[in-house]
Structure 1
Amino acid sequence: MDKKKMAEWLSQGSFAIPKLLLNHYKHLGLSETEFVLLLHMHSFIEEGILFPTPAELAEKMTVTPSECMEMLRKLLQKGFISIEEHMDEREIRSEKYSLQPLWEKLVHYLYAESLKEEKQERQEEEESLYTVFEQEFGRPLSPFECETLSMWIDQDGHSPLIIKAALREAVLSGKLNFRYIDRILFEWKKNGIRTIEQAQNYGRKFRKHQQSTKSIRPVQNEYKQTIPFFNWLDS
């Protein structure tokens, strides 16, 4: 093989196909032929040919110029490409294709999918939350308790993870009731507690304070708590 010829081939370079577009062009409503046409258009634009003709595009594909013209018309109609005015260095006006609408459609689709995933994750977290409460209480939750859980999430804006952390605090304190958990959540929100780490640190500080307070009091009986707790209802 002629090494010089090989060097010429390699010097033609390459262009990157966005993996997100490759994975999701079907979800955008593009056919394989339309997808390949857009790739060729992208390639032409990167080479500096900003307004390739249907004949130039068709030459790269297995379609006729008229078929290519029809596809371009449909892509314009569906808002995947646009035609913009271009002015070169000599201030000569011309037209050029833009793939900006395609990238905007792709970003919009990915954003919508992200919202769907977040909603699904939130639903799963909430379902898990009800299960955890029923396991800790050892019984099904009453309608009032279910409504309270919903209010903590929807009205008070507590995340399921924070609510679970408050439930754990109530368990450690031996105060397993909704009024006590509600008080914990109220105190946390008032003090800007938003993450699990902040909640854990806050709880540890109160237990340490409780231990210090008890250590200076006279011992009135022989009973000793194995887990010191902070009485959130008395705060």
Structure 2
Amino acid sequence: MDGKTWSTWSEGVSFGLENGMAVIPYALLKYYRKLNLSGSEAMLLIHLLSFRQVEGIEFPSLEELQVVTGRSISVLAGELQKLMKEGFISIDGDNDELRDIHYERYNFSGLYGKLGAYLATAVQENEQDKDKGAYGTSAPRAAASGGGFGTPPTSPISLGDKEESRNLFSIFEKEFGRPLSPMECETISSWVDQDRYPEELILLALKESVFAGKVHFRYIDRILLEWARNRVKNAQDVKTYTQKFRNGGR
């Protein structure tokens, strides 16, 4: 290219960068470790914010996230699960009645709340140090975790729990024949974390749905609810209940 061509190309690139830039909270870049986030988790949050601001995509798929991060879908699903469980992000659902479409979007109010609480604590502690005659700034002593400031910290997820969840994701993806959506990952997480269903029971419900030819999450959830109402807690209970149900002796 000659000088004029290079100049034109450079101006075009500059224009593209200027009009395709995402606004990222500096506090996230500076303090993500204080919030107990890893570098990859912070980068995932940045990608989610960028998808929304630059591309207008409020609920990127795991495949879209895989393209920009270069990481496996199972790892991304695990990190999204952690971010949702610890309250950094949540998923809002809504319906477009005109087009009869249900859609989801990520909600970042939890992230902003944690950052705001951390910064407020930093200012408060700095003022306290000044009152005591100390100079300079100090980092907040209360690290954000689980429910954030003002609530008791939750215990960290053990490695075994993480591996168990990822194994569940992998098995579900294999049976469904496709990657799971973030909403489906959240459903599995809620079965484990909120409903306290054993992994064994979740997998048996998946097996029942495959056997019935109804491999979708609503059907699996109905199975788990039915078992919970009838105090079905393990494989032997499932076997007994299923035989009784199929013999018409409920």
Q: TM-score, normalised by structure 1?
A: 0.48
Q: Which has the higher contact order (CA 8 A, sep 6+)?
A: 2
Indicate the structure (1 or 2) with the bigger Cα radius of gyration.
Answer: 1
